Structure 1
Amino acid sequence: MNLLLNLEPPVYRPPSEAYSLLMQVTLGCSNNKCTYCAMYQSKKYRVRPLNDILADIDSVKAQLGAHMWPSGKVFLCDGDALGAPMEVLVPVLEHFRKSFPGIRRFGIYATAENILDKSEAELRQLADLGLNMAYLGMESGNDEVLELVKKGNTAEEMLEAGLKIKSAGWKLSVIAMLGLGGTELSSVHCRDTGVIISQMAPQFFSFLSTTPVPKTPYARSIEKGQIEPLTTKALLGEMREILGGIEPKSGQIIFRANHVSNMFPLAGTLPRDKQAILQQLDQWISQCPEGQYPNINPEYL
């Protein structure tokens, strides 16, 4: 189904939102300082005018009529659309629901900061309207690593935000970045990430491998020898160490490592499949040659 959508590039969404309708509520990223990220460098963060968003929804309705796109899902862009005020988010959700009563759910990127900025009552109100899937780029559970890459939040704030949004009835998908702290911080990155994920127990957890994007501060730090990147074997070792340290405080965690940056895709449910996943990783690690580095083109990320 081909739709003419009013989107300002570049536009990003999680792999699991591949078949969702994309609607920009905000443009850019409110932090936009992470040293490894170039996703929104061409955009100044701003909330789109409500009337413009509502007009875009009307345009989709005019194109589809009484039909729905197959997934029935909507992903609200850009980098952290949850930073938009309730005065924007609520009318957008209501107008979508009025225009398309069959919508299954809404998803959104979120930061710890904009989760904590909203009250639990506000988060519940959004969940009641169908916005109940949040993607949180935690990246690391270690404060030294988070400070290194200017993430803008502490590990404790990440944990508080994750528990808060789950308590408000949302599903939470958390992303961690393999190799983010380089060789020097690898051990604490793995240890503390496993601890935070265990305590937060998000419904979904995934990895992506740190890929230096040219001209970013992170890439320049590698060029200057300030950060030593991990080999493919060491990245697998980090994946094993983090997963080995995860003991969910409650419930189960659906785990995925299917991002294009990961050379070895894995999937399972923790803790049920933990031992099988670790055994697979042990096999890959034993077969992986020393001194080999990932060869991922950042343009494909």
Structure 2
Amino acid sequence: MANNKAKKDILLETGTNEVELAEFFLGESSYGVNVAKIREFVPYDIKTVTKVPNSPHSMLGMLLLRGKTIPLVDLKQNLEQQDDVVSERPVVLVTEFNSLTNGFLIDSINQIHRLSWSDIKPLNQLISGHSPRITGTVHIKGREILILDLEYIIGRLFPEQMSRLTEYESDEHAPQVHESLQEKRNKCPVVIAEDSGMIRKLIINALKKEGYININDFDNGLSAYHYLSNLKQEAEANNQSISELLSIVVSDIEMPQMDGLNLCKRIKEDTGFSGVPVILFSSLINEQMIKKCKQVGADGQISKPEMKKMITYIDEILGLSENENNDEE
């Protein structure tokens, strides 16, 4: 039975672009979730589930787990997967991310795979628009494993709890942004790396509402790194400082092709990016992950969905806070 201790016993070296993927089955189909999001697996016992009237689609009820209740989602129903396979020993996948604990009913656990993020391929853009619950795929031993976007699933099921993930509104009661601060934000080129289309859109909308309008975004770390490398070459060819073309990088941690830790490590180890700050923005931020972020040189790490905190971090790191702006006057 997998648990926290098991996870801690198989920690990966920081910044090596590796991931541990838990493979499980729904019927005959294989799915995968990052082990870092998993708290444990527990046998499914219908006696521990209390149905909730008018509950969202695919929610089985509230699961009693060691004296506490958590939402339990029928993952097969949520994915609208039609098959006649009935598991004799269904399992509950218990996850922790975005400061929330949730349970997902699955048919069975297969195994944990140690992979490189480069092995995981993003979905074709034509397909991804119709399959927002899937962020990528990986081929292992003749099986195609679909990587699930659990944040998206929970966000759609419980929009009132996850409203911070799907909406961002500037504080109407906050003081008006100083005009010169707005102008400075306008001039700051920002690179975003985030594989979830929903979260990427949220970040971009929030940044633009606050005046950060010069944005280039990517759905995986490798594409972002290629773009950054081209910027560096452009700066070198024109005898420019990289800071003239790039102000800051904001990256997710979990991404196909190249994760945020490896992206950050590459940026920080390359003198051509000297002085470029990197913020890691993830649902996986905890004490252990904070240590990993610091090991690869991240200038800050923020838990999703703390959007206002992210804007404040960016302002402070770039020296654009309101206080500093007022001091200049």
TM above 0.5 = no
> What is the TM-score of this pair, normalised by structure 2?
0.28
> What is the TM-score of this pair, normalised by structure 1?
0.30
The structure in which a higher percent of residues are strand is 2
The structure in which a higher percent of residues are helix is 1
Q: Which has the larger radius of gyration?
A: 2
